[in-house]
Amino acid sequence: MILLGALAASAGAQNATVGGIVRDNTRNPIPGATVNLLESNTGATMGPATSGADGRFSIPGVPPGQYMIVVSFHGQEAARTPDFPVPAGGNLSKSVILSADQLGKTGGTTPGQTANTSANADAAIKAINDAVKAGKAEDAKDQYCSNATDPRLQRRCKALDSDIADFTTAERSQMTGQGVSSFNAGNYSQARNVFRNVRSRSLQAERQRWLDRVDRMEAGKNAAQAGRLEEAIANLRPIATSTDAESAGARLTANQLLDQLYQQRISAAQSKVGSSNKSDLDSARGALDEAARIKPGDSTVASLQAKLAAQYKSVGGTVTVAELEDAINAYYRRSYSEAESKLSSFIDRGGTTPRQLALAHFYRGACKFSRQQLTGGPEDSMARDDFRQARGTRGFSPPDSQYVSPKILKAYQQS
């Protein structure tokens, strides 16, 4: 069976353009069909139009009236539709199913299925050539070559493999040339356009990988410039730690942006780590916590943290349970950086009791774990260090799942 889809679109105040698609029963488009409009009352004919490679036809300048669509193959009529009205400049949607018998009496076949006739083979070969020029050789192979029987069409289909290989090579060259160069140079808009225009099927996974990198790098750079630390770390660190040679320029940029954020925090901490004012020490603690998230395991951060802990003890002051409660409340407000800083201050000053100190370690680990889950960044090993510290305290039990997520409790149990 053949499906002939007809639709009309306005072409002016009085006349319409009647167009549609000639298809077979498997919805493959049929090129090379001759389509006319026959005015039912007068017998006047509008057209003809020939369906193209995609099966589409168009007949412009159709006056209002009653029409039928007449489809022919090889000079013989295949079928005609019942009458339908074409309004003045109106919109019309019409489809009709034509039986295989109606098509078969013309000796015609569908190029997408078989091509036993010279006319169909010619139409299919032309459609293939047009598709190759449009960068759609793979689609043409699917459509015209699966069941081709005409020798000329078979030869053209075989040559398509070479066309597809050439097209893929050209697109890979464009992608790894202009696309990657633009990405490494920081021209993310141009890089994105290059990668988005890659159509070769065999390159789609690589195309998406580069698009993801462009999006991540641009988001990370914008976050770093706006001071959104967690977002910047989550997006920039995967690129900063990548090892492929193609991303060398972007890797350098990502490391420079992270280093700027790190140096800002280190400078802020150094200016206050020796203060005798507790609020200054708390501010230094917050800066060091952020620096540690940028560069986990950094020796400079560790040295300043040790100095800060000693300074907390030197300043002294009573450590109260209210401070621990305030820090935990900040955690439940999802102010994880604030909570972590307050918990670190409580821990560095010795806490109150061993169990409350363990609770502070548990919630500090929960802060780090929760932030990692939100940003999608790498796992914070220091979260597990805090969990281990809490687990090592005799008589300590963590809050139950009513108060913290099962994921946090699982990470605690596995630490």
Under the banding of pLDDT at 50, 70 and 90, the label for residue 181 is: very high
pLDDT in tens, 121-135: 888 888 889 888 888
pLDDT at 101: 54
pLDDT at 10: 40
Closest listed residue to residue 32, CA positions, set 136, 133, 153, 139: 153
Closest listed residue to residue 340, CA positions, set 358, 356, 319, 361: 361
pLDDT at 220: 95
pLDDT in tens, 353-387: 889 999 999 999 998 888 877 766 556 677 888 99
Q: Which residues neighbour 195 within 8 Å (Cβ) at sequence distance 6 or greater? A: 175, 179, 207, 210, 211, 214
DSSP 169-203: HHHHHHIIIIIHHHHHHT-HHHHHHHHHT---GGG
Type of residue found at 73: F
Quote the mean pLDDT of the chain.
83
pLDDT at 377: 58
pLDDT in tens, 191-215: 999 999 999 989 999 999 999 999 9
pLDDT in tens, 272-312: 999 988 889 888 988 998 998 899 889 999 999 889 888 88
Closest listed residue to residue 365, CA positions, set 394, 340, 329: 340
Residue 100 scores a pLDDT above 60: no
The arithmetic mean of pLDDT across residues 319-347, rounded, is 86
pLDDT at 35: 87
Residue 25 scores a pLDDT above 80: no
Type of residue found at 13: A
How many residues are given for the chain?
415
Ordered domains of the chain (ranges, CATH):
2-104 (2.60.40.10), 318-415 (1.25.40)
The structure tokens listed for 193 are: 């356009």
pLDDT at 256: 96
pLDDT at 102: 53
Closest listed residue to residue 359, CA positions, set 328, 332, 330, 333: 328
Residue 120 scores a pLDDT above 80: no
Rg (CA), the chain: 35
pLDDT at 291: 92
DSSP 135-160: T-HHHHHHHHSTT--SHHHHHHHHHH
Stated pTM of the model: 0.60
pLDDT at 254: 96
Under the banding of pLDDT at 50, 70 and 90, the label for residue 111 is: very low
Residue 114 scores a pLDDT above 50: no
Residue 31 scores a pLDDT above 80: no
Instruction: Pick the more confident residue, 107 or 149.
Output: 149
Identify whether the C-beta of residue 110 lies closer than 8 Å to the C-beta of residue 31.
no
pLDDT at 226: 93
Identify whether the C-beta of residue 39 lies closer than 8 Å to the C-beta of residue 65.
yes
Residue 9 scores a pLDDT above 60: no
pLDDT at 204: 93
Report the DSSP beta bridge partners of residue 77.
72
Q: Degrees (nearest 5) of the Cα angle 294, 311, 319?
A: 95
pLDDT in tens, 38-68: 888 877 888 888 887 777 788 888 888 888 8
The arithmetic mean of pLDDT across residues 216-233, rounded, is 93
Q: Which residues neighbour 230 within 8 Å (Cβ) at sequence distance 6 or greater? A: 293, 371, 374, 375, 377
Distances in Å between the alpha carbon of 33 and those of 83, 141, 337? 20, 20, 69
In the DSSP assignment, the letter for residue 319 is: -
pLDDT at 297: 85
